[in-house]
Amino acid sequence: MPKTILVTGASSGFGRLICETLAGSGHIVFASMRETSGKNKDHANTLRDRGMKVVDLDVTKSASVESAVAEIVTTHGHVDVLVNNAGVASAGVSEAFSDEQVANLFDVNVLGLHRVTRAVLPSMRKNGDGLVINIGSILGRVTFPFFGIYGASKFAVEAMSDSYRYELSQLGVDVCLVQPSAYPTQMYASAAQPLDQSTVDAYGEIGKIPAAMFDQFMTMLSGADAPNPQDTADAVSDLVAQPSGARATRVVVGTSFGADAVNAAIAPIQAETVKALGVDRLERSKVA
């Protein structure tokens, strides 16, 4: 049965592939992005031409989020699936990022996810059914030097995903986390660099490592053996197709760099923690 699905950050990269894949499976897909009449006009028109519905949505603005979700609920009654994909990246000496840069990154990657989820959940709770898929990263489980600001936001997404999963488990709403590795998408190509060059220079040779690492990553991601971003879209599509209560909590996509081992190691510890708090029934979906 076709589902009504909202995907954020759909102008390019994972988001666009996720939209195209889900639409190809017969779902009603709302592809959201900023500036659908401005800089993303061509992207929006392309998705419309391919049968998707496009909504203007800026995850950093509550009014924009609420308006977009209200438009979907008004025209289609509810949202079955939310894919929180919108995100930005950063790479460089952590100390050299300004407070404003860090705040802006968290505004998109963490607060943006929270804004959209809050706007969609009333519809899901009312129906007693729904699925939230958060696009995290292996860097929410393992840390790469010089990617710490971005990684910190994805560690936050890990905690939020778990908390939402527990709290919604008895209300018919599944929460899953997809953890992609590095893929050749626009997000990595446009990763923010630190603005405080004097601090970067003060690190001497260490300060030159991020650029060399990033160049190496970009070379790897542009080669003949580069990983295919479609892997992430397929992982999302698989979760959508699975029955409620039977979906994996986390799905690593691509080279894990040990993230899968961290997932396996933490799962029983987390389960024991919830049990010790006396709320272990929240570990199990009501419909499972």
Question: pLDDT (tens digit, 9 = 90+) per residue, 205-227?
Answer: 999 999 998 888 778 777 777 88
Q: What is the pLDDT of residues 136-157, one digit of tens each?
A: 999 999 999 999 999 999 999 9
DSSP state of 40: T
Distance between CA atoms of 75 and 55, rounded to whole angstroms?
Answer: 12
SS3 87: coil
Which whole number is the average pLDDT over 97-117? 99
Q: For residue 285, is pLDDT > 90?
A: no
Q: Provide the pLDDT for residue 226.
A: 83
Task: Give strand pairing partners of 90.
Answer: 192
Q: What is the mean pLDDT of residues 65-88?
A: 97
Which top CATH class is 4-283? alpha beta
Q: Is the pLDDT of residue 83 over 80?
A: yes
Task: Extract the runs of DSSP E, i.e. beta strands, from 62-111.
Answer: 81-84
Q: What is the pTM of this model?
A: 0.95
Task: Please check the confidence at residue 129 and state whether its pLDDT lies above 70.
Answer: yes
Confidence of residue 286 (pLDDT cuts 50, 70, 90): low
Q: The sheet that has 4-7: what strands, in order across it?
A: 53-56, 28-33, 4-7, 81-84, 130-135, 173-180, 250-253
Categorise residue 250: left if φ over 0, alpha if ψ from -120 to 50, beta otherwise.
beta
β-strand pairing of 250-253 with 28-33: unpaired
Catalytic residue numbers read 150
What's the confidence (pLDDT) of residue 161? Answer: 99
